[in-house]
Chain A
Amino acid sequence: KAGVTQTPRYLIKTRGQQVTLSCSPISGHRSVSWYQQTPGQGLQFLFEYFSETQRNKGNFPGRFSGRQFSNSRSEMNVSTLELGDSALYLCASSLADHSYGYTFGSGTRLTVV
């Protein structure tokens, strides 16, 4: 079965712009979580969506937002980009219950210049 698909793989944006990243979970997985990975901060939890509702939220500013569609696909948006937003953004899908862990996508590498 297909894995978690993230698009695009790479993105270069200018400070002040906004960006939308997409994630298609494994078929049958209804939970989608987003993480930001940077060398200094490791994997930081952004938010989780389940059945089109945000179920968990991390400690990121309101510039970071997300949504989930009825087919479980999810998007995250970052507005007013800052240089510090440069990171690998990872999407992970799971069943409703996280006990078996997540399956991660390959990530979107965002560079803000």
Chain B
Amino acid sequence: GQQLNQSPQSMFIQEGEDVSMNCTSSSIFNTWLWYKQDPGEGPVLLIALYKAGELTSNGRLTAQFGITRKDSFLNISASIPSDVGIYFCAGLKTSYDKVIFGPGTSLSVIP
């Protein structure tokens, strides 16, 4: 079964607002990944994190690798309509293991 939890499950925000979402696990991961999926497409990698405490940015997106190694956070600043989609966190225990995905956070941006 799934080992990752994401919250919130869904969000409706106004254009221009900042967004925060998180991902938690009962077990430790050594790599955290954040993906975004647009309707009808496969997920696309946004950010990869490799060290506890690491903070990484990609444009308006910032993600953090939790200190406990059991969680990760994604922030989106100044949201725009094209940010709409489903955001998945994913964890990897070892380099050759399968990637485990969270259930996703659905983001809707109201213009």
On A, residues with C-beta under 8 Å from B are 4, 33, 35, 41-43, 45, 48, 55-56, 58, 90, 92, 96-107
- Asked whether, in the complex, the Cβ of B98 is within 8 Å of the Cβ of A48, the reply is yes
- Asked whether, in the complex, the Cβ of B90 is within 8 Å of the Cβ of A101, the reply is yes
B61, chain A: closest CB distance, angstroms: 15
A101, chain B: closest CB distance, angstroms: 4
A-B contact count (CB 8 A): 60
Which 4 residue pairs across A and B have the least CB separation, nearest first?
A104-B42, A43-B101, A42-B103, A101-B45
Per a CB cutoff under 8 Å, which of A90, A92, A97 touches B96? A97
- Asked whether, in the complex, the Cβ of B48 is within 8 Å of the Cβ of A100, the reply is yes
Per a CB cutoff under 8 Å, which of B43, B98, B104 touches A56? B98
Of all chain A residues, the one with the shortest Cβ separation from B31 is A99
- Asked whether, in the complex, the Cβ of B42 is within 8 Å of the Cβ of A99, the reply is no
Per a CB cutoff under 8 Å, which of B2, B33, B42, B96 touches A101? B33
Cross-chain pairs A/B with CB under 8 angstroms, 9 sampled: A48-B98, A90-B42, A99-B92, A99-B95, A101-B35, A101-B48, A101-B99, A106-B41, A107-B42
Q: Does B66 contact A (CB under 8 A)?
A: no
How far is B100's CA from A105's CA once the two chains are assembled, in angstroms?
A: 17
Known: A98-B92, A104-B43. A42 touches B2 (CB 8 A): yes
- Asked whether, in the complex, the Cβ of B101 is within 8 Å of the Cβ of A99, the reply is no
Known: A43-B88, A106-B40. A98 touches B45 (CB 8 A): no
